[in-house]
Amino acid sequence: MPNLTHDALRRWARDCLQAVGARPSDACLVAHHLVDANLAGHDSHGLLRVSQYVAAVRSGDVDVASQPRIVQEMPGGVVLDGARGFGQVVAQTAVEEAIRKARATGVAAATVRNCYHTGRIGSYTEHVAAAGMVGIVMVNAGGGGQTVAPFGGLARRLATNPISIAAPSGDEFPLVLDIATSVAPEGKIRALAQQSRATPAGWMMDARGRPTTNTDDFYSPSVGALLPLGGPAGYKGFGLGLMIDVLAGALSGAGCSRKEVVEARDGMLIIAIDIARFGMLAAFQDQVRELIGYVKSSPPAPGFEEILVPGETEHGQRMNRLREGISIDDALWKQLLSLGKELEVAPPELAHETGTGIETHSGNGKPRRTKLVRSFGRADRTWFEGR
């Protein structure tokens, strides 16, 4: 499997998006977001999506010339229309608005409608947590993307409607819960299908409601469905997904699941809670760290080595992939090379192990060291604003 630095992959994704007409600043932001998902270990929401986004620009599903528009504003909230732009660009604007307003009012909400795929939503709540706030983000697909069966049902009725909640801990990483409300998001099925691999048991059923691990049973012509989160208690995941459809879909104006077939256009609700307005940020973080310590002090159950908390695996993956590089599976690598060739974008440079880390070589032969990028929206903002 080829191994690459996050910098090389970002440059490549940015160049592909620019090649189909994305504004440089938007291409940088979207590329940053996708590679950050790979860094966090969520490959299903990373570079795998570049070809999808390129196709969406070409088909007109994404309007590269559009700008997010504030359609309504109040002291503690804002309503944004994404104008069919890249989801990441619109969501980033909404996150910044929610943070700005929460500074003044203590709690603020931003809704978004009419944008393309928003990607890994944990990156948005991480951004809110980096501002010393609690971040809550919910996303639906505006009535499109129906892939999940309701608990007790056979047919697809909901999108994978993810939710993320992040809280700053004052430690190395914030607590970040970031989950689809189906057992697995569609992107994970797609990634396995591309590698001709079966899914783990319990993710899907076929068109007749029988458990299956064959990705062919999910994609047409047979059209099975993803199962709601929770296994035998799937009514909990279903209930959560349904309420997210209401909050991210009805409240934002993006729309909820319905009979009419519509293309997926993400709807979003972002809530920012400024902790300092409710007490001391430091005291809040102390309690979060104590809670983490206490929960982790439980003896591990048989088959487990340790207790992990939400956000910990992503932090571990990020540190590891920043140091060791990002390995791309052979099927995806082939796809990236072919897309790059078609768009006349040079392949991303492979990483070389130097003994003290990894580096790539620029065209003039000078080594290019990778930079440490810790979280979406802070040190690395320069990447998508400056280049």
Ligand X SMILES: NC(=O)c1ccc[n+]([C@@H]2O[C@H](COP(=O)([O-])OP(=O)(O)OC[C@H]3O[C@@H](n4cnc5c(N)ncnc54)[C@H](O)[C@@H]3O)[C@@H](O)[C@H]2O)c1
Residue type (1 letter), 175: L
Going residue by residue from 309 to 348, which x/- string records binding to ligand X, judged by CB under 6 A? xxxxxx----------------------------------
Considering only 46-54, 69-77, 112-120, 269-277, which stretch makes contact with ligand X by CB under 6 A?
A: 112-120
Does residue 376 contact residue 384 with C-beta atoms inside 8 Å?
A: no
Sign of CA dihedral 99, 103, 107, 113: negative
Closer to ligand X at the Cβ: 11 or 120? 120
- Residue selected from 66, 114, 118, 212 as contacting ligand X according to rule CB under 6 A: 118
- Residue selected from 11, 14, 101, 120 as contacting ligand X according to rule CB under 6 A: 120
3-state helix vs strand vs coil in the chain, percent to 5: 40, 20, 40
Closer to ligand X at the Cβ: 119 or 150? 119
Q: Two tokens at 338?
A: 């072919």
Closer to ligand X at the Cβ: 276 or 308? 308
Does residue 85 contact residue 67 with C-beta atoms inside 8 Å?
A: yes
In the complex, the smallest distance separating the C-beta of residue 365 from ligand X, rounded to whole angstroms, is 38
In the complex, the smallest distance separating the C-beta of residue 266 from ligand X, rounded to whole angstroms, is 6
Does residue 345 contact residue 16 with C-beta atoms inside 8 Å?
A: yes
Considering only 170-178, 277-285, 323-331, 344-352, which stretch makes contact with ligand X by CB under 6 A?
A: 170-178
Chain positions 20 to 79 lying near ligand X, rule: CB under 6 A, are 42, 45
Closer to ligand X at the Cβ: 12 or 376? 376
The CA-atom distances, in angstroms, between 326 and each of 3, 37, 288 are: 5, 11, 31
Neighbours of 78 (CB within 10 A): 22
249 forms part of the interface with ligand X (CB under 6 A): no
Closer to ligand X at the Cβ: 53 or 345? 53
In the complex, the smallest distance separating the C-beta of residue 35 from ligand X, rounded to whole angstroms, is 14
Q: Which residues are CB-neighbours of 271 under 8 A, at least 6 positions away?
A: 98, 107, 108, 109, 134, 135, 136, 137
Does residue 105 contact residue 75 with C-beta atoms inside 8 Å?
A: yes
Residues binding ligand X (CB under 6 A): 42, 45, 117-122, 139, 160, 162, 164, 176-180, 184-185, 188, 308-314
